[in-house]
């Protein structure tokens, strides 16, 4: 398959996701007779109590969220360069800005490292990927846990025929969790695997992947803890927004729903243009399965779910991207003479 073909397929899939995500929301909100909005529904949205108080809390938590990420990245990147916390925070916001224009935010890896003085971009990128992988590990741990709880509390009672599958599901969940955690805590073995897979190219890239052997299991566990703290922060943001928009689920059930939603968002590919639609669609779908039957087609409930997902995206992604845009001009894509990475 040629590069042009791969690029065209990638663009096609992105467009398909974009159409599917926004198409589903448009159908749910404006077309489907049982769920479409009315002018009265929309007017009710502007009379939410404690709106500005909740928004202020969520904004404050946004700074906490990205500060934890900055502290984590600072801790990881210290293996190749000591950076101050303010610089780490600038790198984080810059990465968010660059990532807005790239699929699945891969530009975040590049946006951060070009603020470093050390001319080791590939090592910096690998370290940044390691930090992102730690967050994915937390998503998967919580997502699989939430999926099992959701299966037993909501899916199994409604579909007793799934009883035969429960042990298969639990076994697969345990295996996936164990493998994911083992891979992360033994990330240095990735070099050995690549050496066997691409022996001819290995000599060119082995100096970059050597950085992965610099981290002990204790250090990687500390990184996982920081990733979990960040997970707790944006989960709390999401929950108070859902409660503000009057989504009729208990805090416990909302937490289970978010575990599944965040895990699904990691799996589903998206670009900036479709990400907001994908987030809203997944949230409407997952939370909808947990709602009482009589509320699943309530247009105000659907609007509340979409409102919470959209507000969280605007505060946690769009606003940091705007902040990071002020630092983009400090990116150093070309450096002077120095030791090669």
pLDDT digits 0-9 by tens, 104-156? 667 677 778 777 776 667 888 889 999 999 999 999 999 999 999 998 888 88
pLDDT of residue 104: 66
Nearest-angstrom CA–CA distance, 253 and 149: 10
Are residues 291 and 274 in contact, defined by beta-carbon separation less than 8 angstroms?
A: no
Judge whether residue 289 has pLDDT over 50.
yes
What is the mean predicted confidence (pLDDT) over 164-190? 86
pLDDT, tens digit, for every residue of 292-324? Answer: 877 877 888 888 898 898 889 888 988 888 888
pLDDT at residue 300 in the model: 82
Q: What is the DSSP string of 40-105?
A: HHHHHTT--TTHHHHHHHHHHHHHHHHHHHHHHHHHHHTTT----HHHHHHHHHHHHHHHTTSGGG
User: Tokens for 36?
Assistant: 């479409």
Indicate whether 242 pLDDT > 90. Answer: yes
Least confident range of 16-25, 220-229, 269-278:
16-25
pLDDT of residue 328: 67
Query: pLDDT above 90 covers what percent of the chain?
Result: 31
**Band (234; pLDDT cuts 50, 70, 90):** very high
Please give the pLDDT value at position 218: 93
In the block, residue with structure tokens 């741990």 = 141
74-95, pLDDT tens digit by residue?
999 998 889 999 999 998 998 8
Quote the tokens at residue 16: 């398909």
What is the pTM for the complete model shown?
0.81
Give the SS3 label for residue 333: coil
Query: Which of 11-25, 253-267, 291-305 is the most confident on average?
Result: 253-267
**What is the residue extent of each domain of the chain?**
3-330
For the record, the structure tokens of 126 come out as 């690998």
Mean pLDDT of the chain: 80
Q: What is the pLDDT of residues 23-71, one digit of tens each?
A: 654 665 566 554 455 555 555 555 677 888 999 999 999 999 999 999 9
What pLDDT, on the 0 to 100 scale, is given for residue 339? 42
Note the pLDDT of residue 340: 43
3-state secondary structure 238-261: HHHHHHHCCCCCCHHHHHHHHHHH
Query: What local confidence, expressed as pLDDT, does residue 30 receive?
Result: 62
pLDDT of residue 86: 93
Mean pLDDT of 274-281: 76
Element (H, E) at 223: helix 217-244
Q: Cα–Cα distance between 200 and 210 in angstroms, integer?
A: 17
The yes-or-no verdict on residue 7 having pLDDT over 70 is no
């Amino acid at each position: 398959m040629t590069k042009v073909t791969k690029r065209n397929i990638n663009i096609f899939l992105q467009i398909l996701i974009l159409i599917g995500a926004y198409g589903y929301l448009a159908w749910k909100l404006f077309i489907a007779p049982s769920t479409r909005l009315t002018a009265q529904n929309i007017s009710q949205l502007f009379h939410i109590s404690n709106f500005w108080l909740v928004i202020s809390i969520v904004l404050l938590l946004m700074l906490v969220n990205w500060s934890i990420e900055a502290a984590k990245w600072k801790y990881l990147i210290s293996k190749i360069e000591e950076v101050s916390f303010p610089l780490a925070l600038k790198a984080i916001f810059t990465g968010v800005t660059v990532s807005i224009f790239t699929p699945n935010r891969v530009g975040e890896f590049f946006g951060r490292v070009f603020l470093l003085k050390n001319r080791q971009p590939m090592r910096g990128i690998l370290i940044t990927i390691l930090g992102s992988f730690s967050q994915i590990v937390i998503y998967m741990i919580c997502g699989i846990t939430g999926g099992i709880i959701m299966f037993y509390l909501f899916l199994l009672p409604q579909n007793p025929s799934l009883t035969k599958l429960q042990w298969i599901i639990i076994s697969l969940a345990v295996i996936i969790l164990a493998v994911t955690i083992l891979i992360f805590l033994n990330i240095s073995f990735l070099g050995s695997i690549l050496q066997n897979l691409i022996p001819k190219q290995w000599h060119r890239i082995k100096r970059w992947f050597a950085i992965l052997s610099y981290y002990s299991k204790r250090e990687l566990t500390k990184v996982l803890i920081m990733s979990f703290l960040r997970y707790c922060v944006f989960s709390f943001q999401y929950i108070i927004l859902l409660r503000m928009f009057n989504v009729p689920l208990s805090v416990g059930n909302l937490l289970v729903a978010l575990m599944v939603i965040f895990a699904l968002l990691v799996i589903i590919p998206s670009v900036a243009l479709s990400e907001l639609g994908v987030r809203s669609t997944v949230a409407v779908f997952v939370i909808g399965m947990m709602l009482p039957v009589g509320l699943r087609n309530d247009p105000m409930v659907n609007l509340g779910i979409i409102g919470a997902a959209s507000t969280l995206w605007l505060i946690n992604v769009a606003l940091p991207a705007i902040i990071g845009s002020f630092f983009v001009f400090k990116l150093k894509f070309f450096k002077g003479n120095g030791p090669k990475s």
